[in-house]
Amino acid sequence: MSVAADLARRIADAGAVSVLTGAGMSAESGIPTFRGTHDSLWSTFDPMALATETAWRTDRDLVWGWYRWRMALVAQAPPNAGHRALAALAQHVDVRIATQNVDDLHERAGSVVDAHVHGSLFALRCFECGRAHEAPLDAMEPQAAPLRAAPPFCAYCDGDVRPGVVWFGEALPEDAWQRAVATTHCAVMLVVGTSGLVQPAASLPLLARRHGAYVVELNPARSALSDAVDLHWPVTAAEGLPLLQAALTT
């Protein structure tokens, strides 16, 4: 029996599947991952200069310009066949998604996301008072590389507005984390496109296994999780998930 057929049978029997996604989920939409390829974001930029509170305090125009560039990149990226397959699967079984991604491609493909454990690029809030920033941002022309840009001001306290992502060294939003943990009570978990290096998100598949789940990793390369899951399926997200969807729905 093929991997897709075996997985489809397990998911159909359970009537449900939990999915943990990482940056590799959106790679085939044209959004670079952080690690794992020569053009990944961290091989081009220094994360510690961009994705930390210290970086923000040191040079917020540099940090805001980088996130503004990533927002524009995401806004013009279409969901890929993997995102679409997960949304289609939800027509047949209960699909619960926890994502480390800060993009909105699952939602634009039609999925409901249980938890964005690392926040969202688009959930802007004030760095000083923490209140949400609802005002639309100025339109941005697609640009080849990030440019420095001043962040907008908060309408309440005049503080600087920051992206709603979780930076290195910051705690995860507690409610999102609890919803992600809830997805680990499952019979089958798919782990798609994550290096398994960022904690505590990387502990979710192990927690699922402890709860008795059959855990399958979809990743063309081996990751820090490969030895800890039941099966490493060496496919990309846009290859493997449509195969699974076809096996489950035909």
Considering the candidates 118, 133, 185, 211, report the single residue annotated as catalytic. Answer: 118
Q: Which residues of 149-165 are buried (b: 16+ CB within 10 A; e: fewer)?
A: bebbebeeeebbbbbbb
Considering only residues 84 to 123 of the shown chain, the ones binding ligand NAD according to CB under 6 A are 100-103, 118
Token pair in block for residue 62: 């540099």
Looking at the Cβ atoms of 85 and 154, the one nearer to ligand NAD is 85
Residue type, 83: H
Distance CA 32, CA 26 (A): 8
Considering only residues 121 to 160 of the shown chain, the ones binding ligand NAD according to CB under 6 A are none
Q: Is 118 a catalytic residue?
A: yes
Q: Identify the CA nearest to 79 among candidates 61, 103, 63.
A: 103
Q: Identify the CA nearest to 26 among candidates 116, 103, 108.
A: 103
- Site for ligand NAD (CB under 6 A): how many residues? 31
Contacting ligand NAD (CB under 6 A), which of 4, 35, 85, 215? Answer: 35
Looking at the Cβ atoms of 160 and 217, the one nearer to ligand NAD is 217
Q: Does 55 bind ligand NAD (CB under 6 A)?
A: no
| Integer angstrom CA distances of residue 42 from 35, 37, 75, 88, 129 | 6, 9, 21, 32, 30
Q: Does 198 bind ligand NAD (CB under 6 A)?
A: yes
The minimum distance between CB 84 and ligand NAD, in angstroms, equals 14
Span of 7-15, 57-65, 88-96, 219-227 interacting with ligand NAD by CB under 6 A:
219-227
Chain centroid offset of residue 212 CA = 24
The minimum distance between CB 210 and ligand NAD, in angstroms, equals 20
DSSP notation for 21-55:
E-GGGGGGGT---SSSSTTSHHHHS-GGGTSBHHH
Span of 87-95, 123-131, 134-142, 217-225 interacting with ligand NAD by CB under 6 A:
217-225
Token pair in block for residue 119: 């926040």
The minimum distance between CB 177 and ligand NAD, in angstroms, equals 13
Q: Identify the CA nearest to 240 among candidates 1, 22, 8.
A: 8
Looking at the Cβ atoms of 113 and 154, the one nearer to ligand NAD is 113
Interface mask (CB under 6 A) for ligand NAD, residues 166-195, using x and -? --------------------------xxxx
The minimum distance between CB 110 and ligand NAD, in angstroms, equals 17
H or E segment at 98? strand 94-99
Q: Give the residues lining the site for ligand NAD (CB under 6 A).
A: 22-24, 26-28, 31, 33-36, 40-41, 100-103, 118, 192-195, 197-198, 218-221, 223, 236-237
Q: What residues are labeled active site?
A: 118
